[in-house]
Amino acid sequence: MAKVMMKGNEAMALAAIKGGCRAFFGYPITPQSELPEYLARHMHKYGGVFLQAESEVAAINMVYGASGAGARVMTSSSSPGIALKQEGISYIAGAELPAVIINVMRGGPGLGGIQPSQADYKQVTRGGGNGDYYVLAFAPENLQETVNIIKESFDLADLYRNPVMIAVDGLIGQMMEPVDLDVEISKKDLPEKTWATTGTDGKRPPVNVNSLFLDAQDLENHSFKLDKKYKLIKENEQRYEFVNMDNPELVIVAYGTMSRIVRSALEILNNEGIKVGLLRPISIWPFPEKAFNELPDSVKGILTCELSTGQMVDDVKIANDGKLPVGFFGRTGGMVPEPEEIVQAVKDMLRGLK
């Protein structure tokens, strides 16, 4: 199919349908409401289910039920709504169920604002709910990449039997870009869902979808089993992109909307003869630690740029393992910086390094 102009939230909704999503449960919140609205108009044409729940808590538990019963299912929300979904996400991870969750992030804490933000980084990458678990989390920077990742996420969720979160911000949800929704995504070899509650049909013993382990040893075994899966995900799913990596003096680490602004800053810097590269995490959990081993020797420092007060800095420091100085530039609360502000931050950091 040719490219079409679509609004981000609507393109994400259609991408989910094209990724095989046949059930959606959600609750309205700005800046993602066009996504459920689109599915309310179109899901039935694909034989799927759309339901507006009474709350985010109910929505994510509907996802748990539907996924446990074998459906390809999704929910979407924005920051305060994702906070409410954390209980259910923990249960979904604990019961090893697949689900796709879209988080169109806005500013916080609390009710915060409705402008684009990346201040949910820790909520997204640290589990968020209770217990030893992680969700796969992707932070694409444009609509085409978002659409591709959403389509693939349904396979990844099934493959790992784990929730997958797409963390974009309000800007990506609200903007319009040309996008091809029929890009072929390589299909994974997926096992049958023998664990799903579909009724025994008299043909097999009953199955049970559950995250309860009253015996401490059983729960430790389960947690170590999950941990093994998370290690496998870390090995297989670290995704990132390098830009301008021809012997830069400094490398910026930025994702999503921030990386788009950084790209403009790199052009300005390049014209001034200052060589700066960009390491763009596409997966934020697992964090692309591998990329840091590939940094060229020319790099003298790392500047982390975020739409938050610096939530990713810790991950950058861990991945960098004390080898290079790590600086930070960020705007938050819904403020989106001009490329010139990043140019200035780069120059300040370089001056400090000399």
Partner 1 sequence: MGKVVFKRSEGLSKKEFSYCPGCTHGIIHRLVAEVIEELGIIDKTIGISPVGCSVMNYEFFNCDMQQAAHGRAPAVATGIKRVRPDNIVFSYQGDGDLASIGTAEIIHAAHRSENITVIFVNNAIYGMTGGQMAPTTLIGQKTTTSPYGREEKHAGKPIKMSELLATIPGASFIERVSVHDPAHVRKAKKAIKKAFEVQVEGKGFSLVELISTCPVNWGKTPQDALNWAKENMIPYYPLGNFRTPEEDGKND
Binding-site ranges for partner 1 (CB under 8 A): 22-23, 25, 49, 51, 53-55, 57-59, 61-71, 73, 87-88, 91, 95, 197-202, 206-212, 214
Beta carbon of residue 91, minimum distance to partner 1 (angstroms, whole number): 5
Report d(CA 7, CA 236) in Å as an integer.
31
Beta carbon of residue 25, minimum distance to partner 1 (angstroms, whole number): 7
Answer yes or no: are the C-beta atoms of 11 and 179 closer than 8 Å.
yes
Residue 99 or 312 having the CB closest to partner 1? 99
Residue 63 or 139 having the CB closest to partner 1? 63
Residue 67 or 103 having the CB closest to partner 1? 67
Beta carbon of residue 333, minimum distance to partner 1 (angstroms, whole number): 31
DSSP classification of residue 211: -
**Cα 160–137–116 angle (5° rounding)?**
155
What is the radius of gyration, based on Cα positions, of the chain?
21
DSSP classification of residue 198: S
Residue 109 or 206 having the CB closest to partner 1? 206
Report d(CA 346, CA 340) in Å as an integer.
10
Beta carbon of residue 247, minimum distance to partner 1 (angstroms, whole number): 53
Residue 99 or 295 having the CB closest to partner 1? 99
Give strand pairing partners of 74. 24, 100
Q: Which residues contact 155 (CB under 8 A, 6 or more apart)?
A: 19, 185, 187, 188, 190
Beta carbon of residue 130, minimum distance to partner 1 (angstroms, whole number): 11
Residue 72 or 260 having the CB closest to partner 1? 72
Rounded to an integer, what is the distance from CA 17 to the centroid of its chain? 18
Beta carbon of residue 58, minimum distance to partner 1 (angstroms, whole number): 4
Least Cα distance to 325 among 340, 313, 339, 310 occurs for 313
Give strand pairing partners of 116. 106
Least Cα distance to 138 among 112, 157, 116 occurs for 157
Beta carbon of residue 45, minimum distance to partner 1 (angstroms, whole number): 17
Residue 76 or 148 having the CB closest to partner 1? 76
Answer yes or no: are the C-beta atoms of 299 and 276 closer than 8 Å.
no
